[in-house]
């Protein structure tokens, strides 16, 4: 793969994340789901450049209360998502490894659903309480996500890493559709049947 700002490992937080399998899975999901998207938001970026992967999406926003990603063509917003007063509804949004840090996770999840027509979220999957002392909701599982989001996701998958023992749950929520799909291929088939 050619090296650019999004593939360069660099140092610090991104160096430890850039080759994560969960991020590659999110990348495939956004590439499949976001083909026609014009606007995208990432909530809780921690300075990570993965928004650069989605170069066909013209308007991209990175929001973080501490470290939004600052990159070419990216709108960077330093704010607490819960206090953020923007009324914009984005075509697609990502919120990766954030909910487990947020005390009022249900309110946060509901605001994510309102702000993103298609939402891709990831959380640590069934990590023991105390494994990471910045996580306030471990263990997180499908049931806890259901209680925060108040609905079934359209898609849910558990992703294991190879280099570390760090299972994560990735889910997709679509605003205009409640059908469950198990792969992007199946979603495409179901979408085509529904729109006939």
Q: Does 96 bind ligand SAM (CB under 6 A)?
A: yes
Q: Which stretch binds ligand SAM (CB under 6 A): 2-10, 93-101, 137-145, 169-177?
A: 93-101
Q: Do 171 and 161 meet the contact criterion of CB atoms below 8 Å apart?
A: no
3-state DSSP assignment of residue 39: strand
The beta strands (E) that lie in 3-72 are given as 39-43, 59-64
| Beta bridge partner(s), residue 59 | 39
Contacts (CB under 6 A) with ligand SAM, residues 23-82 = 44-46, 48, 63-67, 80-82
Dist CA 123 CA 99 (whole Å): 7
What is the x/- site pattern for ligand SAM, positions 100-139, by CB under 6 A? -xx-------------------------------------
3-state DSSP assignment of residue 184: helix
Q: How far is the CB of 120 from ligand SAM (least distance, A)?
A: 11
Extract long-range pairs of 190-193: CB within 8 Å, 24+ residues apart. none
Q: How far is CA 118 from the centre of its chain?
A: 10
Rank residues 26 and 57 by Cβ distance to ligand SAM and give the closer one: 26
Rank residues 70 and 185 by Cβ distance to ligand SAM and give the closer one: 70
Residue nearest to ligand SAM (CB): 44
Q: Which residues bind ligand SAM (CB under 6 A)?
A: 17, 44-46, 48, 63-67, 80-82, 96-98, 101-102
């Amino acid at each position: 793969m050619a090296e650019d700002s999004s593939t360069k490992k660099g140092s610090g937080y991104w160096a430890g994340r850039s080759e994560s399998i969960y991020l590659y899975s999110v990348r495939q999901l956004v590439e499949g789901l976001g083909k026609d998207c014009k606007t995208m938001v990432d909530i809780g970026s921690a300075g990570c450049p993965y928004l650069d992967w989605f170069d066909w999406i013209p308007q991209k926003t990175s929001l973080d209360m501490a470290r939004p990603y600052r990159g070419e063509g990216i709108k960077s917003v330093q704010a607490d998502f819960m206090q953020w007063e923007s009324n914009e509804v984005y075509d697609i949004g990502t919120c990766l490894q954030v909910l487990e840090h947020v005390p009022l996770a249900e309110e946060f999840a509901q605001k994510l659903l309102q702000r993103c027509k298609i939402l891709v979220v990831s959380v640590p999957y069934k990590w023991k309480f105390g494994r990471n002392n910045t996580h306030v909701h471990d263990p997180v599982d499908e049931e806890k996500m259901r209680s925060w989001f108040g609905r079934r996701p359209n898609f849910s998958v558990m992703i294991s890493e190879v280099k570390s023992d760090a299972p994560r749950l990735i889910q997709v929520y679509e605003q205009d559709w409640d059908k469950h799909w198990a792969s992007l291929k199946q979603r495409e088939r179901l979408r085509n049947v529904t729109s006939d």
